[in-house]
Structure 1
């Protein structure tokens, strides 16, 4: 991997790690649905002119049905779920649970696309979810004030990402990356607009909350998607997925620096188990190298 590509990978991880911080800044004032709606609406406004400049609007119109499905599972639902989780759990813990996305992706590919899993990869899946249980066992209270629903929301969001990734691979390999990125944000915005209008906060949100939403939309959605798909083209999917392992590092760092969140020994150990299991499940550890 070239030094420039490594720099972009680290930049992407830093941006997506910060998204959990920005959600914490605005979720309480906007509410999860409104925050997610503003995020995808802002990203759409930023990406549409770029797609138009590259003559991609015809493809967007032609592929609107699959893009609607991707918008639901890759943006609308997970953004609402992570914004909901931001109401009660730390940015660091949300990011660690988000790191289970490759595990869900592998399970969906196994069940839907009949992709074989080696014993080592199955061990990785088991370890990854064991790490999640270790993280959640003393926090998963579904009583009022508990974090159980927030933890479940993060895992459900990661599952949505896993389904969307496999759907794109199976049904949308012929569609341009920028079209997928723009279409997913646009259709997510259209789906979330009606409930967002109904749930609009009675009290005007603060400038800090608006700043968090703006950064989510422009930096963590529009810019991040462009970086992500550029890396996919240049260094391949396997190398790009390494961003999954870096996001919790930055999320924990930003949460500690800007929100004073604590990263304790249990979270550190649980994070290590989740990421090690994910590496096994992806075949990044123990994979046999082919001879040149």
Structure 2
């Protein structure tokens, strides 16, 4: 029960990250917002590392942390921050769930990983979900939001690339991967703030959103995630992917008055069914059900 509550809490926090980005991205711009996000997250993890006496050895692995920070945080975070300036936070949270599909494509085409038919079927469901989500939304078509949609999908592609990279990266604890990745991202994003400066003086709402995004949705969320990995295992902890869109839609509706259309619900279901097939969660649940029955 504790593990389930932890997953729900983590999904609520990560679902809230799209709400916070929506509130702050237009005023601060993607680069400044994300620089604050990764620095606040990195500082939070540094405090925890100090308390736990965990050495990061950043300079020893600086190349690794810079690569990981670029693809796992800097690029996707900035692309999402760009996308939420036009798209609803709820839509971006659903598009965020397509990362496993890119993981399959990269694994099959680039790394020549054998892929089961059910996985490709899952990719088909995911594609259908994205088309349903954005193809029947008149607001998207009218506002010419296809570039932000593409940016959000490229963000998930970056996540998938980072996931494959970590399998061949230097071996270290998951906590150090997360900690070093945030400092690497902070270094990578820094030059961009000179080309994408703050657009408006931030008000109290924007400042609160930045603090929530950096400390809660990045630093504390990582700590909670790794605790769940220890308690439930990595595969079970990753099932949080299915819950994030639920909270992304909920927070967007409650706090930003975003409308929940039939295409949003149907698109979400198709994407999540696809993710279930791609990650093999449906087989794990079926096996678990059989074990309980016996």
Same structural fold, with TM-score higher than 0.5 when normalized by the shorter chain: yes
> C-alpha distance in 2, partners of 1:232/1:17?
19
What's the Cα RMSD here?
2.2
Matched, 1:28 2:26: yes
Matched, 1:233 2:234: no
Q: Following superposition of structure 1 onto structure 2, how do residues 92-131 of structure 1 map, counting pairs within 5 Å?
A: 92-131=90-129
Match of 2:155 in 1: 157
Match of 1:222 among 219, 228, 235: 219
> C-alpha distance in 1, partners of 2:231/2:136?
42
> C-alpha distance in 2, partners of 1:86/1:20?
7
Q: CA deviation at 1:280?
A: 0.8
> C-alpha distance in 2, partners of 1:169/1:82?
24
Answer yes or no: is the 8 Å Cα contact 1:104–1:162 preserved in 2. Answer: yes
Structure 1 spans left out of the alignment, 5+ residues: none
Q: CA deviation at 1:140?
A: 9.6
Q: CA deviation at 1:66?
A: 1.0
What is the SS of the residue equivalent to 1:159? helix
What is the SS of the residue equivalent to 2:87? coil
> C-alpha distance in 2, partners of 1:84/1:112?
28
Answer yes or no: is the 8 Å Cα contact 1:139–1:147 preserved in 2. Answer: no
| TM-score scaled by length of structure 2 | 0.91
Q: Deviations over 1:188-247 (max 9, x none)?
A: 111112221443225311111111111000000001111112212221122112111100
Structure 2 spans left out of the alignment, 5+ residues: none
> C-alpha distance in 1, partners of 2:138/2:232?
38
Flag the 1:80–1:61 CA change in 2: closer, same or farther, 3 A.
same
Answer yes or no: is the 8 Å Cα contact 1:17–1:254 preserved in 2. Answer: yes
Q: Following superposition of structure 1 onto structure 2, how do residues 58-207 of structure 1 map, counting pairs within 5 Å?
A: 58-138=56-136, 145-172=143-170, 174-207=171-204
Matched, 1:268 2:265: yes
What is the SS of the residue equivalent to 1:80? helix
| TM-score scaled by length of structure 1 | 0.92
Q: Deviations over 1:161-191 (max 9, x none)?
A: 111111112224x211121111111111111
> C-alpha distance in 2, partners of 1:139/1:283?
30
